[in-house]
Structures are given as structure tokens and as C-alpha cells.
Amino acid sequence: MGGARSFSYMPGPRPLPLLGNSWRFALNRKPWRTRALDVTLWSLRALAGAGGAAKVAKLFGHPDLVFPFCAEETARVYRREDAMPHRAVAPCLRHYKQELRKDFFGDEPGLIGVHGEVWWRFRSRVTKHVVAPEAARASVPELDAVTTEFVHRMEGLIDEKRELPKDFQTELYKWALECVGAWALGTRLGCLNEDDAAAKEIIRCIHGFFHSVPELELSAPLWRLYPTPAYNTYVEALDAFRSLCLNRLTDKGVCAKIAQTSGEKVAAILALDLLLVGVDTTAAAAASTFYLLAKNGRVQNRLHKELDKNLPQDRVLTSKDLDRLPYLRACIKEALRIKPVILGNGRCLQSDTVISGYQVPKGSHIVFPHYIMSNEERYFPSPASYVPERWLKDHVDQQAGGRGACPYSQGKEAEENEVGAGAHARAVWLRQRETGIHPFASLPFGFGRRMCIGKRFAETELQLLLARTFHRYIVSWQHDDLTYSVTPTYIPNEPLQFTLQPRR
């Protein structure tokens, strides 16, 4: 580590004696708010300077946090990790698995909230059934059936102004949960059926779980001292999910194959983990992609053309149908760049390391702030612009430059706006082509052995929902811009009242 500066010199907010830096979040003042960590990250980015790093030291119950705001530094740390990379553990989930319900989990704590040998052993049992591309491709017909039902349900939810209801985010949770049940458990959970009492109980627990997570995992851990209301809600929900995964396991779905080779307990634990990370994240990604498409008529117009040309009518979709939709995939990647579901991924250092020229001691928690890097000009020219073309090798679309009428409004002004938007998109594409896309500047699913294990399934779910919805509707947004909070997923605060107009 010759030449590296001492860790004490790394910029960051100064901790107070005894109180450390925890008092900042306890006061809940900008920029130190757990629900506004995007603002916190931008503040730390300013402290770090060009290509540097910042730290937040002395947080109660947490190791020192280091934030390297550099894609090259992110790549170096990721690539040097060993076969069993350590992530920061969610304390309350670890408590549930390894203490409160240890009699059930035992030596099989699953994938979420654990690391080390037990994590590696569990992952080795399940990886080939979940990560293999063939698994997600084979699930397309079942997921398409769920999605088609959901899109029909959306029509019934629309009011007289053709707006979706204020609780549409909850509807997206139902869709995502139903999808997890279809591909993981091989069964329908009934979440899209208003008359299903069991499904209503599942939805209630989902709500309780996601509302309790920020308080338990991001705020002061009062649950360690006494069972807070959020803690009780959290445990009740996890118990319900565990029973669900045990009772709904069938001879179909991804987990059925794992049950055959490793037993029903391992399969149920995997299903639980997939449910915990695959509902709010996928629903949040769907919400942001809907929003960005609804706000960008030029992009939606081009997507409509691709869907009209390649999406078959009146039959269940297959993976080959999705293969013919590269612009749709680019729309999703661009949405996850601007509004990633998780603002950053983390690793717990297993040895002393030099990061951005500073000596960082073993045990520190490195947070890779992908949200900041994917919204910086140096990596993505015009970062606030929603330009899916930046992910394509060729700009191609002849009407992206403005030829052709915009379907969202009429008149000369609309055509001029379309021409301007197309010209801007091409300029961004050309600049991005010159810059290139750094492979570690936008990592919405993480990287390496601890990459999101359900990545391929999540991408498939999103492609199906967007293809089915935008093939049928013109989606617009008639309200003020959405604001976002961390809950711990990055999700809109306001109701998702999209306007849907039939295309045919």
C-alpha cells in the first residue's frame, strides 16, 4: 500500500465523539435521510471530488461505509473478490433466519442475508436451475398468461378519464407476486382475483413487510432492544411467506426441480428468498419504465412500431418472440440506468485494500453507488435524457429524426417537437458511441457471484408486461413529475395514475 493515503484523510462527514455519524440520520435532516439516500449520495459525491471516494464512518451498528464514485475503481474491487464475496447483511433478516427461526432454517439459511460457506453451499445447489438462460426462456408462456390476465385487469381498473387508480403500485406488486408464484412455485397464487381470501392475506403481508423494512434495516435498530410494531409486522409477514412457500410448492416450476435433487425444504427456502427480492424490485422497475415511456412520446412511438412489426396476435408469446424486440430491451435498460431499483450494491472487505488512493481497512463496507455513476455526464452524455438508443449499436429508425406524426398530440407544434426530440436522441447516441458504455457504470442487478439470481426472470417479466401493455395502449402522464424515495427500493412517492388510450 505504498503511496496510499491514510483512511483518516478520506473525505466524509465528521463523526462526533460517542454519537459518531448516527445522529445525522436520527435528526432526519437533509441530506441525511434514510428515505432520501439519493440526495445523500449526491452530497457524498460532491465531497469525494472528481473520480474520488467518500466515507461515512462511525454509524451505530454498522461498519464504516466507503463510496467509490468511479467505474474503474468499482471494476477493480469486484474483479478481485474471491469465490465467496461478502455482502452487507440485513441484520433483521439474519436475526430471523439464524436466531428466531433457526429451528427451521438450521444450516440452510438460503441466499439472502447470509454469506460465507453456508451461502456458497446453498447457491451451488440451486444455481443451475435458476441462473441458466433456458430456465427463464422456458417460463415465458406461463409468465405471459399471468401478464395477459393482468393487462385485461388494468382495463377494468381505469376510471372515466381513462386513468389507472391511485393504488396502481399495489397492483404491480400483485402482478410481480403472481409471476414469482408461476415461475418459482409452478402455481397461481390468486393475487389477481379479488375474491381469493388467501391472496388478500398474501397482499396484506406483502404490504406489511415492505413498509417495515426501511424502519428495521435503515433506521436505528430499536428492535434489538424490544419488539417494535414494525418488527412484529416483519416477523408475521416472513412466517406467512414461509408457510406459503411450503404449502404451495408443486411438481412444476423452478423450485420443483430443486426439491427433487435437494429436498422440499431447500426448495421452499429458495422460493422464500425469491419472493423477498423479486416482488418490490420488479414492481418498482415496471413503475419507472412505464413512467419514462409515458413521458417520452418519441420513444413510445418507436416502441409501438417494433411491437406492431414483431409481436404476434392472438397467441401466447414465446422466448423467440421476445428475441425480436431489441428496442424494448433497450427501453428497460435505459429506465434502470436513470431510476435503478437499488441505488447501490455493496461488499464487505475481507482484507486491507487501496481504493481511490486511500488505505481502506478490512471489515469496511464498500458501497458501489451505481445510481450516481449511471446519472453522470462522464459516463452517459445527457444523463437526464431518456434515450434507449444509447444501448443500441445502430440508431437505424428513420422516423426517430422526426418524420411521421406523433400519436400523442396533433398539429404542427407536435411535429416540430417530434423532430427536435429525434435530433436530440441522435446527438446523444453519437456522443455515447464516442464515449462508449463502461460495463461497471450501470449495474442494476449487481455483478459477479452475488449478482441478482433472478435477473433473467425479472427481465423476462418486464419485457412481457411492457410488450403486452404498450402494444395495446398509448400510455401518457398528465400530472406533475414523480418524486422518489428509498423504501429500500427506489420507488415513486406519488400515485401512478397513468392514462391509457386504446391503440385499436
DSSP per-residue string spanning 454-478: THHHHHHHHHHHHHHHHHHEEEE--
Mean pLDDT of 217-236: 87
pLDDT of residue 492: 96
Contact 303, 295 (CB under 8 A): no
Q: What are the pLDDT digits (tens) for 58-94?
A: 988 788 999 999 999 999 988 877 655 666 667 888 8
Mean pLDDT lowest for which of 273-277, 347-351, 449-453?
449-453
pLDDT band at 397; cut points 50, 70, 90: low
* SS3 readout for 50-96: CCCEEEECCCCCCCCEEEECCHHHHHHHHHCCCCCCCCCCCHHHHHH
194-233: buried (b, 16+ CB within 10 Å) or exposed (e) per residue?
eeeeebeebbebbebbbebbbbbbbbebebeeeebebbeb
Q: Give the rounded percent of residues in the chain with a pLDDT score beyond 90.
A: 60
Q: Which of 28-37, 260-269, 444-453, 476-485 has the lowest mean pLDDT?
A: 444-453
Q: Does 407 have pLDDT greater than 50? A: no
Per-residue confidence band for 174, with pLDDT thresholds at 50, 70 and 90: very high
pLDDT at 413: 55
212 vs 303, residue with greater confidence: 303
Hey, is 483 helix, strand or coil? Answer: coil
300-343 pLDDT, tens digit each: 999 999 999 999 988 999 999 999 999 999 999 999 999 999 99
Predicted pLDDT at 89 = 65
Alpha helices in 311-353 (DSSP H): 319-323, 326-338
- Mean pLDDT across 96-101: 91
CA end-to-end distance (rounded Å), the chain: 65
Q: Are strands 484-486 and 490-492 parallel, antiparallel or unpaired?
A: antiparallel
Q: Lowest-pLDDT range, 144-153, 216-225, 301-310, 427-436?
A: 216-225
Q: Residue 292: pLDDT above 70? A: yes
Confidence of residue 277 (pLDDT cuts 50, 70, 90): confident
State the pLDDT at residue 86: 67
Helix intervals (H) in 181-247: 197-213, 229-247
Are 471 and 313 spatial neighbours (Cβ–Cβ below 8 Å)?
no
Which residues contribute to the annotated binding site for heme?
Answer: 452
Nearest-angstrom CA–CA distance, 232 and 209: 10
Task: Determine how many CB atoms are found less than 10 A away from the CB of residue 250.
Answer: 12
Which residues contribute to the annotated binding site? 452
Question: How far is it, in rounded angstroms, from Cα 289 to Cα 296?
Answer: 11
Q: Are 11 and 49 in contact (CB under 8 A)?
A: yes
pLDDT given for residue 416 in this prediction = 54
Q: Which helix (H) or strand (E) holds 418?
A: helix 412-435
Share of the chain above pLDDT 70, in %: 93
Which DSSP state fits 179?
Answer: H
Least trusted range by pLDDT, from 77-81, 115-119, 198-202, 398-402: 398-402
Instruction: Report how far residue 12's alpha carbon sits from residue 427's, in angstroms, rounded to the nearest whole number.
Output: 37
What is the rounded distance in angstroms from the CA atom of residue 498 to the CA atom of residue 287?
10
* Winning range, highest mean pLDDT, from 100-109, 218-227, 393-402: 100-109
Q: Are strands 353-355 and 484-486 parallel, antiparallel or unpaired?
A: unpaired
Q: Which three cell numbers stand for residue 92?
A: 433483521
| Residue located via cell numbers 398528465 | 478
Between residues 467 and 210, the one the model is more confident about: 467
Q: Residue range 487-502: average pLDDT?
A: 95
pTM above 0.75, yes or no: yes
Q: Is the pLDDT of residue 409 over 50?
A: no
CA distance 254 to 258: 7
Q: What integer pLDDT is reported at residue 408 of this predicted model?
A: 44
Q: Are strands 65-68 and 365-368 parallel, antiparallel or unpaired?
A: parallel
- Residue 404 pLDDT > 70: no
Compute the average pLDDT of residues 386-399. 80
Supply the pLDDT for residue 106: 87
Name the DSSP letter for residue 5.
Answer: B
Length of the chain counted residue by residue: 504
